[in-house]
Each structure stands twice: as structure tokens, then as C-alpha cells.
Structure 1
Amino acid sequence: MSTAFFPRQIEIGPTCLEQLGEVASNLGGTHLLIVIDAFLVSSPYSYDEKIKNIAKQHQLEVTFFSDYRGEPTTDHLSAALNKMKGTGADCVVAIGGGSAIDLAKAVSLFALNPNIQWQEIASQTRLKRLPLIAVPTTAGTGSEATKVMVITDSQTQYKMNPGHRDLIPDAAILDPELSCSLPKQFTAYTGMDALTHAIEAYVSTNATAITDSYALLAISKIANALPKVYENGMDLEAREEMLMASCYAGIAFSNASTNLAHAAGRPLGARFNIPHGLSVSLLLPFVMEFSLKAAEERFGDIAENLGIQEVESRSKLAESAVKHVNELNEHFDIWKDGLKYIDLVDLEESIPVLVKDALSGNGITTNRKVPDSRDVKDLYLSLINKLKTIKECNAASL
């Protein structure tokens, strides 16, 4: 038996942001709290003015919240809820990357449940929340289609990622014109995050026929579109394909779970303040290699959907998937960019804490080969060795 949960409505295509007013009205919204990335309300984008015009056409009021930076925290949540007080806002809209969407999920939930405890969220039979609309401007997190939100505890710096089907947004609006503003490197980071979601969903022990279909579609679309948008960010057709792929990958992993690359990537990102997509893509090849023999047939399927052909055996085909992801990391400067954030000595000294945090998070038991502390330590050591090699090569080329 297969079960899957989805957003109730998905709009996709150039200019579909114009549907926001109608979608919000249909959900019963009269006053929208817009959680939006700060740069989007500044020149040259000024999406706040466009959104005001769309809202006015449907007799909707709007309040904007953009007082957050980086990945969302409990302090950001408190600030958003304070901004919301007294406005009469009855619908939450996220416009931005995964941080905006995750923060909006938390706002929509805590606005109606101010005393709920974070550890209680996943175990609730039902969650009451405000209507929620997600408008992603990046093709990576897939948060517009997922039941998970990632919020960092401002006191402990621990990344909490509770999941519940009622956190899935009611509607997702996928307008490729909004993603054209994403810089080249963040296009790569978010695109590799989407690829990681799809790969991990496909090899998850919770995978189903439904999630398999979405995961493989996402992998093939990313393989086709990500190199195109990396070279030409204004390619609207490829941007749309990436948004669709990210959404598909979100559906896949939301229902099947991610696994070791995300479990190990979350504490790495928190420790070194690394963009999420970069942190998971730094670890993905090593996780694939660790899991290879336990899911050889599935990694062969992944290779085929990455566009790899004419390999002499199924075993070699599976291995080629790992090689291809390594090559993507090189092409998108993932290894070089990792060195911009990571101090290798600090990383080596931090391994015991990173291992503990990785093993305590989601995604360990859904890995086809369940890792122990030694295995996770080896992942981080493999990353250190890789980055040392890259650093030496960079020095030699100067």
C-alpha cells in the first residue's frame, strides 16, 4: 500500500503570482501576513508593490514581515508573531526560499497554538493552523510541498525539524520569473539540495511506488535543467522545470523521508553557518558511496535518470551515479565553496559533536545501510580529505 500527502493546489507557469489574490480568497483569507525575503521588497525587485496591487484587486489587506536573515530561528518566529498581533491577519503567505516557507509554516501554526511544544508537534493527530500559501523563489528545498519545517532554536543552536502532514501548505504558486533573481551559486546549492532530496527519497527504506515516481521524475528534470540555469539564470523554461523538479522532490521526501546526507548535513551547516544546500551536497557523494551496496539496483535507476548510459554492468552503473554527483559538485564549485565556510582543523575537532547531532536527527533509520557512530565519523573524515585535496590543488595553481 502507498500513501502520500500533497498541497491541495499547485499553480505553475510564468506570471502565475497573479493568482495569489484568488487563491487566498478561496482559502477564506481577508488579511495576508506576507513572510518575504528582505531583498525582494527592495529595488530592483519591489515585490511588495506588486503584491499590494494583486491584493487590492481582491479586496485583501496585507502586512509584510521580512525581519529575518539566514535560516529561520525561534527568535525570528517570535518577531513575526509580534508583527502579526493586532493586524487581524488570517492567512499566511511565504514568498522566498526555504527559510521564508519554513518560517511561515511555524507562524501559521503558532498563531493558533501559542503554547504548543516543539516536541509535541509530530505526535498530534491534527494541527490547527491558519491557511498557508507558499511561493518559492528558489528551486531546492521543496518546502512548498513538504510536511517538515526546519527552525533553529536560538538558545541552543539546535536545528529542529518537526514533521506533520498538516504543515503542508494549502497551495503552492510556482512562478519561474521569481526564481530568475537567484544568484548563480545559490542556484547550484538549491538545485543540488533538490537532487539530494530526490536521491534520498528514492533510496529511503520508506520509499513507495508513489514517492519513487516523483523522485525519479525530479532527478531526470534536474539533470536536464540545472546545468542550463547555472549557465543562464534567465532561461525561464529551465527555471520552470527546476521549480517543478524541486516540488516533485519535496513531495517524494516529505512522504518517504531523507536520510544520511541530510542527517549529517544539518549539524555541519549549523556548526559552520553553511547554506543548507551546500552542506548536504558536500556530503552526498560520500553518503551514496557508503550506501551503494545496500541499494545497488536503485542507484542504477538513479544513474539512468541522471542520463548515464552504456555502462557494462548494473554494478558499474550504480557506481557511475556516485561519480556523476562528484562531477556535478566539481562543475558547480561545491568543493571550492565549502572551503569558504569550513576551517578544516575546526571540522576535525568538531567531529564528535557533529556525529552525536547527526545520529540524533531524522534520517538515520531510513538509510538503506543504517550507520553507526564510526560510519558517520568516516563521512566527515572523507569530506576533510576531499577538501584538503582541493585546497592543495588550489594552492598549487597559484
Structure 2
Amino acid sequence: MVTQVILPRILQIGEGASQQLPQVLASLGCNRPLIITDKMMVKLGYTQTIQDCLAASGLSADVFDDTVPEPTISSIQAGVAKVRDGDYDSIIALGGGSPIDSAKAISILGKFGGVMRDYKFPRIVNELGLPIIAIPTTAGTGSEVTKVTIITDESNDEKMLCVGVGFMPLAALVDFNLTLSLPKRTTADTGIDALTHAMEAYVSQKASLYTDAQAIAAMRLIGPNLRRAFHDGTDKQARERVMLGSTLAGIAFSNASVALVHGMSRPIGAAFHVPHGLSNAMLLPAVTEFSIPAAAERYADCARAMGVASEQDSTDVANSKLMAELYALNDELEVPTPELFGIDRDEFFRLLPTMAEQALQSGSPGNNPRIPSADEIIELYKKLW
């Protein structure tokens, strides 16, 4: 089997990587960037820091800061208009997964036009939009190294999966210093999101030796360090390891695909505005339990990589320890159930058939080791409540 691997052309990782932005822009032949970010990045001063860094090298950058969590068709329109009206040769995507995902969509629509639905999977978008330099400020989505973006169509609450080389950033600057001020909730949600990426890439039916290596390395980094980063955000060693784990997990799932957790997660996020990482965290234990019978050895490998099972443990014992760990992790990181999150029970149960259908249409459940029926997805959603 031949594995095609798509990565950013430039990947800089480590403390201070974000400060190398001027040199990276120069190497790409770009000198008129637009910063796409959100208002929190402006408030925290990260945007100004990037502008100051550019100014020291004689560069300036306009800012578009109207991206929103879980980006929608309407939320990116002003950014698309700004790109079309401006003379920009590149985009600096600064923030968590939502600003980076927004930047990916704006890059394509700003250059080629059309509407977001035109670029929805199963179409593969290989056209190259404006070059993107991604600077992630969370350790979770892996969006800086993926050829994927997810944009919600608010007319029907569908989270549209858009895939292709055109959505891969040209460069990614992965600087764990930018995660030191992350609040606990964001640390937890994005961290479990990254763990989910690694686990799903490893058990995916599209996994390869290459993606296996990235996924196992990611689990080894995230498993022992996520709790440390959650309880002490200033723990630089833990932050660095979780951030690198997130990037490796992003590489793994971008090249092996995600599976059932993500397929079921998107409809919850779209219908009830649950942050993506949090809805993944809600689902991970139940979906793992459902899937283990079809890939017991693979899940046991996950347990060992995360450090919760030993090489001497049998497959069954390792998987028992894995399940105990996933439930314990959700408890310690204060992951709520849909009920505790505040979702209306009647509405949740009314939408179960629709959410199950949307999950299947996304294609992700088809990569799961155990492929569910719509009825089985509904039962998993009920178990989640």
C-alpha cells in the first residue's frame, strides 16, 4: 500500500517558533500578510506581539478579528470580502482551530469565489488559495497540519467537512509559549480532542505504518502530560509535550482520517453549539467501548502508549485499563455530559435520528473499526446523555 503524506512546506516547532514569522514570510516570497484571528487573541495581546515582530523586520499586517468559535458560512463572509478587496499575498492564521479553520476557508473563497458548499466533501479541493502561515495557540485541533476545515451551514445546522491540499497551511509555527495562558476548560477540551485524533488515526481503517508512528508518539506525549497541563498551566514541560503531541496527532489523522467519535461529534456541535473538543471528549469513552471488540489489539496499543497499561498486560487487561482511564480523565478534567452542559433533553432526543444520519453522511464512521448502523449511533447518543 502506498501512503500519500501531505504536510506544510515549512514546520517550525519549539519555544519561540512564532517569532521566526518574518523569516518564514521572506522564504515564501510574501510581504503583504493579513492576520486572521479572533477578538480574544487581540485582547490577550498575541495579535500585537505578532504585529510588533513583523514591524521589527519592516513589515506590516492588517487584522481581521471577527472569526467565531465553530465558524459558520456567515462568520467568514466579511473575511472573504476583506481578502477580495485587499492586496494581500498571504494569510497569518493566529489562534485555535476556529481562526485557523476560518482562514483556510477564507483563503479558498477569497481567491476562487463561489460558496462554501461548493467545496464540501466528497469534492477534494486541490486548488491552492492564498498561502497560509498557521500559528496555533491551543494544543488540540492540529489544524495547523491538516488538509481539512469544518464550516457550519447555519441554515440547516450542518457541519460541512471540506478536504484537500488546498486547505493545508503552507507553513506552521508551533510555539508552546502561546498556550501558557490557556484557561483550564480550553486546555482540557483541546487536549482530549488531540488524544481523540491520535486514537482514531491509529484505529482508522485508513491507518498506515507512517500514521501509526505519528499517532503512537502523540499518545505517548499527551497521555502522561494532559493532567499536568490542566492543573498547572505554567508547567512548560507539560505544555510543550501536549503541544507537540497535538501536532503529531494532527499529522496522523490528516493522513489516516478520523472515525466515529468525530462523525458523531459534529452534529452535537452544530445543533447545540457544543465546542468541538468538548463534544469529542463527551463521546470518546462510549465510542471506544463500542469499538474495542473490532480492534482489541489496536486499542490495547493505545493504552500502552498512553502509559496506563504495561507491555506485560494482556489485550483484555490493557483495554479494561484504557476504559477506566478515559472515564477517569473526563471526570478529572470536568467534562460534562450533554445534560450537565445544559442541552434541552426533549430537543436532544428529538434530533437523534437527524444527528445519526448527519454522522453517517460525514463519512467518518466508515473509517471506524466497527462500523455502526444509524440505530447503533442513536443508542450511543442515548448512552451519552
TM-score (norm 1): 0.92
Q: How does 1:136-285 map to 2 (within 5 A)?
A: 136-285=136-285
Report the CA distance between 1:258 and its aligned residue.
0.5
Distance in 1 separating the partners of 2:60 and 2:314:
61
Distance in 1 separating the partners of 2:339 and 2:192:
14
1:270-291, CA deviations, whole angstroms, 9 ceiling, x for partnerless residues?
1111111110111111111111
Q: How does 1:1-398 map to 2 (within 5 A)?
A: 1-42=2-43, 45-115=44-114, 118-120=117-119, 123-124=123-124, 126-309=126-309, 312-335=313-336, 339-384=340-385
1:21-63, CA deviations, whole angstroms, 9 ceiling, x for partnerless residues?
1111211212111011211212xx3223222222223332311
Q: Secondary structure at the match of 1:224?
A: coil
In structure 2, the CA distance between the partners of 1:212 and 1:187, relative to structure 1 (3 Å rule), is same
In structure 2, the CA distance between the partners of 1:116 and 1:355, relative to structure 1 (3 Å rule), is closer
In structure 2, the CA distance between the partners of 1:312 and 1:357, relative to structure 1 (3 Å rule), is same
Q: Secondary structure at the match of 1:308?
A: coil
1:213-257, CA deviations, whole angstroms, 9 ceiling, x for partnerless residues?
000111111112211110110112211111111110000001111
- Contact kept, 8 Å, 1:189 with 1:278, in 2: the verdict is yes
Distance in 1 separating the partners of 2:338 and 2:189:
10
In structure 2, the CA distance between the partners of 1:66 and 1:301, relative to structure 1 (3 Å rule), is same
Report the CA distance between 1:115 and its aligned residue.
2.5
- Contact kept, 8 Å, 2:96 with 2:141, in 1: the verdict is yes
Distance in 2 separating the partners of 1:162 and 1:337:
27
Q: Secondary structure at the match of 2:92?
A: strand
Report the CA distance between 1:116 and its aligned residue.
6.2
- Return 5+ residue gaps in structure 2 as ranges: none
1:259-317, CA deviations, whole angstroms, 9 ceiling, x for partnerless residues?
10110111011111111111011111111111111000001100101112357521221
After TM superposition, the runs of 4+ consecutive aligned structure 1 residues lying more than 6 A away are none
1:94-127, CA deviations, whole angstroms, 9 ceiling, x for partnerless residues?
1100000001111111121112663446535731
Distance in 1 separating the partners of 2:140 and 2:313:
33
In structure 2, the CA distance between the partners of 1:338 and 1:188, relative to structure 1 (3 Å rule), is farther
In structure 2, the CA distance between the partners of 1:338 and 1:177, relative to structure 1 (3 Å rule), is farther
1:129-174, CA deviations, whole angstroms, 9 ceiling, x for partnerless residues?
1111110100110000001001111322211111102311111111
| Corresponding letter in the other structure for 1:70 | P
1:338-387, CA deviations, whole angstroms, 9 ceiling, x for partnerless residues?
61232333322221111111111131210111110111011011112xxx
| Corresponding letter in the other structure for 1:17 | S
- Contact kept, 8 Å, 1:226 with 1:238, in 2: the verdict is yes
- Contact kept, 8 Å, 2:124 with 2:163, in 1: the verdict is no
Distance in 2 separating the partners of 1:253 and 1:157:
24
Q: Secondary structure at the match of 1:33?
A: strand
In structure 2, the CA distance between the partners of 1:58 and 1:351, relative to structure 1 (3 Å rule), is same
In structure 2, the CA distance between the partners of 1:16 and 1:337, relative to structure 1 (3 Å rule), is farther
Distance in 2 separating the partners of 1:337 and 1:46:
33
- Return 5+ residue gaps in structure 1 as ranges: 385-398
| Corresponding letter in the other structure for 2:49 | K
Report the CA distance between 1:337 and its aligned residue.
7.8
- Contact kept, 8 Å, 2:67 with 2:76, in 1: the verdict is no
- Contact kept, 8 Å, 2:36 with 2:65, in 1: the verdict is yes
Distance in 2 separating the partners of 1:230 and 1:124:
37
- Contact kept, 8 Å, 1:119 with 1:162, in 2: the verdict is no
Report the CA distance between 1:336 and its aligned residue.
5.6
- The number of residues matched between the two structures is 382
| Corresponding letter in the other structure for 1:96 | G
| Corresponding letter in the other structure for 1:49 | Q
- Contact kept, 8 Å, 2:8 with 2:172, in 1: the verdict is yes
- Contact kept, 8 Å, 2:194 with 2:246, in 1: the verdict is yes
Distance in 1 separating the partners of 2:33 and 2:362:
34
Decide which moves more: 328-337 or 14-23.
328-337
Distance in 2 separating the partners of 1:259 and 1:78:
30
* CA-atom RMSD in angstroms: 1.7
